Chain A
Amino acid sequence: MAEDKYKEARIGVFLCHCGTNIAGTIDIDAVREYAKTIPNVVVVDNYAYMCSTPGQNKIADAIKEQNLTGIVVAACTPRLHEPTFRNATAAGGLNPFRFEMANIRDQNSWVHMHQPEEATEKAKDAVRIAVAKASLLEDLIPKSVPVEKTAMVVGGGVGGMQAALDLADAGIKTYLVEKSPTIGGRMSQLDKTFPTLDCSQCILTPKMVDVYRNKNIELLTYTEVEAVEGYIGNFDVTLRKKARGVLTPAEAEARGIVGGGCTGCGDCAEVCPVIKPNPFELGMAPRKAIYIYHPQVSPLIYTVDFDSCVKCGLCVESCGDKKAIDLDAKDELITVKVGTAILALGYDIYPIEKKFEWGYKNYDNVITSLEFERLICASGPTGGHLIRPSDGETPKRIAFVLCAGSRDNTDTGKPYCSRFCCMYSLKHAHQIIEKIPGAVPYIFYMDIRSFGKMYEEFYYRIQNEGAKFIRGRVANITEDPVTKNLHVNAEDTLLGRPIDMEVDMVVLAAAIQPSAETEKTRRLFGVSCSQDGWLLEAHPKLNPCGTTTAGVYLAGVCQGPKDIPDTVAQAEGAASAASIPIHKGEVELEPYFAVCLEDKCAGCGMCVYQCPYSALSLVEKDGRTVMHVTEAKCKGCGTCGGFCPGGAIWMQHFASPQIVAQIDAFLLGGEQ
């Protein structure tokens, strides 16, 4: 089969200069002359920008004029322009999969910039190898599959909430999955937001109520993703509904308890004898073993912490006829089918105690910015009175340490800018000036990054209000053992003088890092991450909401540090992107599936166990047992094709003869 095609092959080779990106290093003329000598090549052309309209037209025209059977473009990467040149191939009347790309830019001219001769030889190799494959390419027809008309959003912070609301408002049934007992996320822990100084809860709670009330949103709090199967359009997601121990009115009704279920009255917590730190208040306030994080939670349903519950039964008693509490509750697994999913997994605070020099967790009066948010918040553990943890006194001199663990290339820091610390520290400075008469904020900074709309103006305002700015990173902090005051040591780099500033309190603007669940969840959805753990978008500029897994999108900080406006904007982008396949109703799958050559298949079934995607099975056909491929599940990884002892599996577009031809072309150096 392959032999025949090889003889008939008529290949066109097109060399891209990419301006000087390629042509500045590689001798295009030499490659062109060489390409003409490669077997099967009937036309060779080159152009400054093959991706441009005239460049693409060259391909389409040549196909028609020369009756070509395959196209090779030597240019950048398939990731960037394979779709472009496939379209050009199709425009010329050829099946788009009869196109092969040779990467002579990213993997050649860019990395061998100072070795033009070797780069040119390497480009000749790359073209020869691509021609070998193009000569054996076949027509392939993509398959369409229907898309489930539901979506899932993982993470119920402001990003996840916004994405869920947008999807729901676009008419798509959406599951919003949140690991905590309430939605709201980090934003609900903040007191005010920059630069407008809106009360964070005030602008967030209406959204939380909207989410709760929206008929298209199914809110699954205290729930985690357990397993993900399937592909775009058809994900089967298994969820673990953690044992909450408290029934909603609907759940109670389902059990036949009419008019029962949790009303959020709080009688249970009143009588509960177990006291634990409240994680919402970062441990600075107590909660009971049956609890809500704060009065504005959504849904307003209590939760039993079974790790600390002593099962005394007092809560059950106090709940009375509502019968909302079930101390024998168990985790429950449910599976839902969705067409697309958005990950909005948020962030955690970097454990800044790792920077020993700043004494967090060692000195009482060194706190993090998030702790500051709770302490300055009227609904926080101190009723909004900022106090020193050591003695309850009101601090007057407060140092803010910026870039605490961010922009730090050591193994106890994060190399990136956490992006919102400058702005919230300015806000903190404003808050203490406003709340504490005579208080002075000292902001130790390296650069103030106030790049957003009205941000620089906010910086101006806070400076005008009396905040003191010291351009120097804090070297270390020491504690006066008697007064518990802190000595902040740094260099005022503008004065060129070391500074030892005695203050009452230090607030560390600690770096942020991906939330604890991010790694597990991204693996379930098959999403990559960059070196620092943030989830990898499909393209940093042109596809910032998508991922390389079709049907899975990103919103908010899990993709990289960003503030609330950017998070909400990305969430809306992700929601829009996630709704497109659902509205289209069907998606095209790349036709790179395995194909069983049934006459060769012995039905041994070894491949079925090899397949990592459960795409293969054995079926009876014409009285024989043969392997069957569920094309929608097959990712074309080639595990089965490489393994099959009888050579009965044909990997479309990556078939053995095609790969062998490439290897031959490389090893034989063109001598056939």
Chain B
Amino acid sequence: MAVKKDYKDQKLAEKLRDRKYYIPDSNPEFLKEVEKIGQTPAHMCYQCGTCTGSCPSAPRSSYRIRLFMRKAVLGLEEEALTDPDLWLCTTCYSCTDRCPRDLAPTDAIMAMRNLAFKRDIVPRNFLQTVQLIYKSGHGVPNNDANRAARKKLGLDEEPETTHKYPEYLPGIQKILDHYKLKENADRILAEGA
């Protein structure tokens, strides 16, 4: 366990905080969860860096997918799930295509995001998409300007989707309610507001 230093000065206590990795920092369940949700044997990562070298987000941020793989292997759940970089993966799958160990680092990231959501850690825009789909069936719904444009093209103002057939909406809402997604989205957004 990290050495406890009861320094009176909070600033100094933080500055000199014990940064060693101790076995109890690790949660082996985290690796298991990531592997189960992501359906990829993340523990086989040998840290070659092909993933980060392929990553379009890495050169413009501190996001290092290799380090997330490492944190999964070491069970550093807290560090991984609270890191805002977790949300910088564009899911381009270049790392997955090139990984010499035939792993899917992208899907490991998706698994970690799923686990973060269980702790209410999730960017607001993701939740807003949920609300829109609950209401209209679409993440990017129709609007008046678009309706006018569709009409000009000779298309129906509403596309042949839930927009034109709202009778399908209750089915969609039932699915989302099954997972309590709307409820959680509303709650988290309200708490953050």
Chain A residues in the interface with B (C-beta under 8 A): 357, 403, 407-410, 413, 446, 471-476, 489-493, 496, 498-500
Contacts and interface: CB of A to CB of B under 8 A. Distances in A.
B48 A493 contact: yes
B129 interface: no
Given A496-B64, A498-B58, A476 B98 contact: yes
A499 B50 CA distance: 11
A485 to B, nearest CB: 18
B67 interface: yes
Given A357-B97, A472-B53, 16 more contacts: A407-B46, A409-B44, A409-B101, A413-B100, A473-B49, A473-B53, A475-B50, A475-B53, A489-B53, A490-B53, A491-B49, A493-B47, A493-B49, A496-B67, A498-B58, A499-B53
A612 B51 CA distance: 52
Q: Which of B55, B97, B100, B101 has the most CB of A within 10 A?
A: B100
Contacts of B66: 491, 493, 496
B100 A498 contact: no
B100 A472 contact: no
Contacts of B58: 491, 498
What 6 A-B pairs are tightest by C-beta distance, nearest first?
A475-B53, A491-B49, A473-B48, A491-B52, A472-B49, A475-B54
Contacts of A413: 100
Contacts of B183: none
A407 B54 CA distance: 18
Nearest to A473: B48
B100 A357 contact: no
Contacts of A408: 100
Contacts of A446: 46, 48
A413 B67 CA distance: 24
Contacts of A500: 59
B55 A498 contact: yes
B102 interface: yes
Contacts of A473: 48-50, 53, 100
A475 B100 contact: no
A473 B50 CA distance: 5
B44 to A, nearest CB: 8
Interface string B95-130: 001111110000000000000000000000000000
Nearest to B67: A496
Contacts of B51: 475, 491
A48 B49 CA distance: 48
B106 to A, nearest CB: 14
A410 B102 contact: yes
Contacts of A472: 48-50, 53
A163 B94 CA distance: 48
A141 B46 CA distance: 55
Contacts of B98: 357, 475-476
B53 A407 contact: no
Nearest to A408: B100
Nearest to B49: A491
Nearest to B58: A498
A476 B53 contact: yes
A513 B180 CA distance: 54
Interface string B137-165: 00000000000000000000000000000
Nearest to A406: B100
A262 B44 CA distance: 59
Interface string B25-64: 0000000000000000000101111111111001100001
A412 to B, nearest CB: 10
A409 B100 contact: yes
Contacts of B100: 403, 407-410, 413, 473
Q: Which of B46, B54, B55, B67 has the most CB of A within 10 A?
A: B54
B68 to A, nearest CB: 12
B46 to A, nearest CB: 7
A476 B54 CA distance: 7
Contacts of A475: 49-54, 94, 98
Given A472-B48, A493-B47, A409 B53 contact: no
7 contacts: A407-B46, A408-B100, A409-B102, A476-B94, A492-B49, A493-B52, A498-B53
A500 B47 CA distance: 18
A288 to B, nearest CB: 42
A364 to B, nearest CB: 22
Contacts of A409: 44, 100-102
Given A403-B100, A491-B53, A491-B66, A498 B48 contact: no
A410 B54 CA distance: 17
A133 to B, nearest CB: 43
A357 B102 CA distance: 15
Q: Which of B51, B55, B67, B98 has the most CB of A within 10 A?
A: B98
B60 to A, nearest CB: 9
Contacts of B55: 498
Contacts of B59: 498, 500
A408 B100 CA distance: 5
A407 B99 CA distance: 11
A166 B14 CA distance: 71
Contacts of B52: 475, 491, 493, 496, 498
A489 B47 contact: no
Nearest to B60: A498
Q: Which of A408, A446, A475, A490 has the most CB of B within 10 A?
A: A475
Nearest to A490: B53
A474 B99 CA distance: 11
Given A476-B54, A498-B58, A498-B59, A490 B49 contact: yes
Nearest to B52: A491
A408 B103 CA distance: 11
Q: Which of B47, B49, B99, B100 has the most CB of A within 10 A?
A: B49
Given A493-B66, A496-B67, A474 B102 contact: no
Contacts of A491: 49-53, 58, 64, 66
A496 B48 CA distance: 11
A238 to B, nearest CB: 43
B145 to A, nearest CB: 40
A406 to B, nearest CB: 9
A499 B97 CA distance: 19
Given A408-B100, A410-B102, A496-B67, A489 B54 contact: yes
Nearest to A489: B53
Nearest to B48: A473
Contacts of B64: 491, 496
A474 B46 contact: no
A474 B50 CA distance: 6
A474 B67 contact: no
A471 B99 CA distance: 16
Nearest to B56: A498
A474 B100 CA distance: 11
A19 B99 CA distance: 42
A202 to B, nearest CB: 37
A446 B50 CA distance: 10
A471 B46 CA distance: 12
Contacts of A407: 46, 100
B61 to A, nearest CB: 10
A654 to B, nearest CB: 43
A410 B95 CA distance: 13
Nearest to A488: B53
A472 B50 CA distance: 7
A408 B48 CA distance: 11
A443 to B, nearest CB: 14
A410 B98 CA distance: 9
A222 to B, nearest CB: 39
A493 B45 CA distance: 13
Nearest to B46: A446
Nearest to A494: B49
